[in-house]
């Protein structure tokens, strides 16, 4: 894992967006794994800016979202379908048929989950997966105790996650109890992963994910097993990392192009 500490969430968003742009410039038909939550919002805003300036084309891009609440219609203001449409898809030029988001309203979850996994394979796998992290260390909706080889499936949300996400709903009772989510095993198959976190509320989760043991209690810690994950954090989210100085040293000494 490479840890990149940025001064502010805005710097973090710009750096992560640059990384997405690099992938798309090298492979215009890349498959992107998309995340919801407040953390990746800045990255989406940066990508939209690049697109509006004519510097980034999404016309050949395919996307797969990580998760969706079960029981919310796609038009519900808090559904992840709505979130992605409002904050990203309506603002760029990804063809509608290339966008995949798990269904929170299917009548047959096992069949839908198997189809979702198969679609990812048919599209050649995910080139770059964007991830946030829950305060309990989850990625997507892989709550503590999720198998580290889990695949897309229905998951019961932890009380902590329901509490955390209640701020987006009128009442806590309105937060769905179930979600459909890519599994940890599904996520680990992405070729590149960027994990984003900002704010002091994420400091414990980031320290556990990056420097703690690999454990299903902190599903983000499974990323330690992934060959190419970069962790973008702002100062407060980095505040509990013991090896902080070393991470900065690595960035400072990053070899540039070899001398000609
Ligand atoms: C939800 C999502 C996760 C996200 C997490 C953190 O649980 N399923 O993908 O990482 O929220 O959200 P935020 O970025 O708003 O803190």
Q: What is the pLDDT of residues 38-91, one digit of tens each?
A: 999 999 999 999 999 999 999 999 999 999 999 999 999 999 999 999 999 999
The helix-helix angle for 9-26 and 41-52 (nearest 10°) equals 50
Whether 229 and 3 have beta carbons less than 8 Å apart is answered as no
* Tens digit of each residue's pLDDT (9 = 90 or more) over 181-191: 999 999 999 99
Per-residue pLDDT band at 121 (split at 50, 70, 90): very high
Ligand 1 atom nearest residue 157's Cα = 7
Candidate from 35-39, 224-228, 230-234, 254-258 with smallest mean pLDDT: 254-258
Whether 66 and 34 have beta carbons less than 8 Å apart is answered as yes
Catalytic residue positions, numbered: 67, 136, 138, 143
Q: 179 has which bridge partners? A: 69, 155
Helices H / strands E in the chain, number of each: 9, 10
What is the average pLDDT value for the chain, to the nearest integer?
96
Per-residue pLDDT band at 254 (split at 50, 70, 90): confident
Ligand 1 atom nearest residue 161's Cα = 7
Distance between CA atoms of residues 234 and 232, nearest Å: 7
Distance between CA atoms of residues 79 and 76, nearest Å: 5
Q: 142 has which bridge partners? A: 139
Residue 260 has pLDDT above 70, yes or no: no
Residue whose C-alpha is closest to residue 66's, from 145, 132, 6, 10: 132
Q: Which residues line ligand 1 (CB under 6 A)?
A: 35-39, 66-67, 132-134, 140-141, 161
Per-residue pLDDT band at 257 (split at 50, 70, 90): low
């Amino acid at each position: 894992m490479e840890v990149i500490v940025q001064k502010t969430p805005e710097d973090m968003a710009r750096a992560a967006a640059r990384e997405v742009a690099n992938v798309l410039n090298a492979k215009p038909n890349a498959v992107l794994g998309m995340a919801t939550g407040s953390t990746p919002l800045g990255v989406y805003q940066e990508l939209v800016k690049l697109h509006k300036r004519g510097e980034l084309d999404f016309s050949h891009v395919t996307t797969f979202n990580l998760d969706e609440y079960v029981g919310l219609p796609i038009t519900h203001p808090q559904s992840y379908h709505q979130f992605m449409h409002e904050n990203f898809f309506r603002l760029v030029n990804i063809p509608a048929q290339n966008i995949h988001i798990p269904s929170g309203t299917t009548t047959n979850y096992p069949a839908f989950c198997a189809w979702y996994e198969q679609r990812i394979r048919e599209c050649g796998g995910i080139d770059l997966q964007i991830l946030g992290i829950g305060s309990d260390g989850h990625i997507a909706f892989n709550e503590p105790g999720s198998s580290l080889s889990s695949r897309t499936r229905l998951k019961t949300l932890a009380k902590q996650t329901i509490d955390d996400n209640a701020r987006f709903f009128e009442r806590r009772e309105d937060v769905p109890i179930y979600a459909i989510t890519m599994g940890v095993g599904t996520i680990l198959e992405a070729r590149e992963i960027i994990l984003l976190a900002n704010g002091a509320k994420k400091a414990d989760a980031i320290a556990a994910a990056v420097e703690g043991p690999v454990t299903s209690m902190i599903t983000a810690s499974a990323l330690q097993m992934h060959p190419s994950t970069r962790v973008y954090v702002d100062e407060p989210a980095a505040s509990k990392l013991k090896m902080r100085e070393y991470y900065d040293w690595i960035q400072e000494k990053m070899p540039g192009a070899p001398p000609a």
